[in-house]
């Protein structure tokens, strides 16, 4: 069908797909901003009270705060100016930290990126190895590994962290128990983060591998005298990666949630700690800032993944 279509029409169709994608992304970010703004308005008590916090201030000071933040304007005006700020990349001012939300997030971003990247990288490597080793093996190997994966997906992530901490930091003293900036401090948090993700990915990848290993092209490769390892690595693995990409956006959300919890278990700095402090301190601009940022990153990741599909699976380049 697509082969018959003239080149111009195909290009137009692809352009349209990209545009729809972009529009949806904008809608998502706009939605997130609106939800955030609504959240601010819905907070019990006035915004000015939240700004003042528990300290007792004179009516004059309160009036000053209201004027500073433009809280005396109609809700619609506030909403529009808030949207304007978001468009300009200005996330507002933290109630608690006395600095802009952007600065606060920027300061914590590095630590969180380090943690999530280490966790994700570890999970990808482990899951690939596990899937390659266990796909289409004897019954009991698969039984043991799928049992382990089931446990891995059921274990609460904070408990994994606590267990690792108890064994390797408190009992054996191999790693620092709290904080830890260097590599030594990153190992246990990364492992706890990787475990549930590994379990999930290994399941999906093994299924993909097993499907791929049933394909005729695998038989052809084997008939050419290719070794089993080479068949798995060179031919089947690429197919097993496709479903992983589909999951990646969802994994990103999982990792972010895990990040909040793991930073607490290991007393680490990062976005999670920043956000948790903001939640308990009712510091909405910071909470909204982190949510908006992650929503935007999510949109970017999903768009990139759509492109990555084309790289991994050349068949799709023709089809779109």
Q: Which residues bind other proteins (CB under 8 A)?
A: 24, 27-28, 31-32, 35-36, 39, 42-44, 147, 150-151, 153-159, 162-163, 165-166, 170-171, 177, 252-254, 256-257, 260-261, 264, 275-276, 278-280, 282-284, 287-288, 290-291, 294-295, 298-299, 302
Give the nearer residue to other proteins in terms of CB position, either 39 or 316: 39
Q: Least Å distance between CB 307 and other proteins?
A: 18
Give the nearer residue to other proteins in terms of CB position, either 53 or 220: 53
Token reading at 133: 């080793």
Give the nearer residue to other proteins in terms of CB position, either 222 or 282: 282
Contact yes or no for 78/38 (Cβ under 8 A): no
Q: Least Å distance between CB 29 and other proteins?
A: 9
Cα 118–121–125 angle (5° rounding)? 140
Q: Least Å distance between CB 94 and other proteins?
A: 13
Rounded CA-CA distance 90/98 in Å is 15
Q: Least Å distance between CB 158 and other proteins?
A: 5
Count CA atoms within 13 Å of residue 32 on its CB side: 22
Give the number of other Cβ atoms within 10 Å of residue 114's Cβ.
17
Q: Least Å distance between CB 196 and other proteins?
A: 10
Give the nearer residue to other proteins in terms of CB position, either 199 or 237: 199
Give the nearer residue to other proteins in terms of CB position, either 161 or 208: 161
Q: Least Å distance between CB 151 and other proteins?
A: 6
Give the nearer residue to other proteins in terms of CB position, either 196 or 237: 196
Q: Least Å distance between CB 159 and other proteins?
A: 3
Contact yes or no for 256/22 (Cβ under 8 A): no
Give the nearer residue to other proteins in terms of CB position, either 22 or 150: 150
Q: Least Å distance between CB 294 and other proteins?
A: 5
Rounded CA-CA distance 16/13 in Å is 5
CA-wise closest residue to 118 among 168, 181, 186 = 186
Give the nearer residue to other proteins in terms of CB position, either 201 or 236: 201
């Amino acid at each position: 069908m697509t082969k018959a279509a003239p080149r111009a029409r195909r290009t137009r169709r692809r352009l349209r797909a990209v545009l729809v994608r972009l529009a949806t992304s904008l809608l998502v970010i706009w939605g997130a901003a609106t939800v955030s703004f609504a959240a601010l308005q819905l907070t019990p008590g006035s915004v000015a009270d939240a700004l003042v916090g528990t300290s007792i201030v004179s009516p004059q000071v309160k009036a000053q705060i209201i004027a500073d933040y433009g809280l005396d304007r109609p809700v619609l005006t506030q909403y529009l100016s808030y949207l304007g700020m978001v468009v300009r990349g200005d996330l507002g001012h933290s109630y608690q930290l006395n600095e802009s939300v952007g600065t606060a997030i920027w300061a914590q971003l590095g630590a969180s990126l380090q943690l999530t990247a280490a966790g994700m990288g570890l999970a990808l490597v482990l899951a690939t190895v596990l899937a390659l080793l266990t796909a289409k093996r004897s019954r009991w190997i698969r039984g043991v590994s799928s049992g382990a994966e089931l446990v891995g997906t059921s274990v609460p992530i904070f408990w994994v962290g606590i267990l690792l901490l108890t064994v390797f930091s408190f009992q054996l003293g191999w790693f620092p128990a709290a904080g830890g900036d260097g590599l030594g401090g990153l190992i246990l948090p990364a492992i706890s983060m990787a475990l549930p993700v590994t379990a999930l990915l290994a399941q999906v990848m093994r299924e993909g591998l097993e499907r791929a290993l049933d394909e005729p092209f695998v038989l052809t490769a084997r008939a050419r005298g290719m070794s089993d390892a080479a068949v798995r690595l060179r031919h089947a693995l690429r197919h097993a990666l496709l479903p992983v990409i589909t999951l990646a956006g969802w994994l990103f959300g999982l990792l972010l949630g895990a990040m909040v919890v793991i930073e607490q278990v290991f007393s680490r700095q990062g976005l999670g700690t920043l956000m948790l402090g903001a939640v308990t301190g009712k510091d909405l601009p910071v909470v909204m800032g982190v949510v908006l940022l992650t929503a935007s990153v999510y949109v970017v990741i999903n768009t990139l993944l759509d492109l990555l599909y084309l790289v991994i699976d050349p068949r799709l380049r023709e089809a779109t």
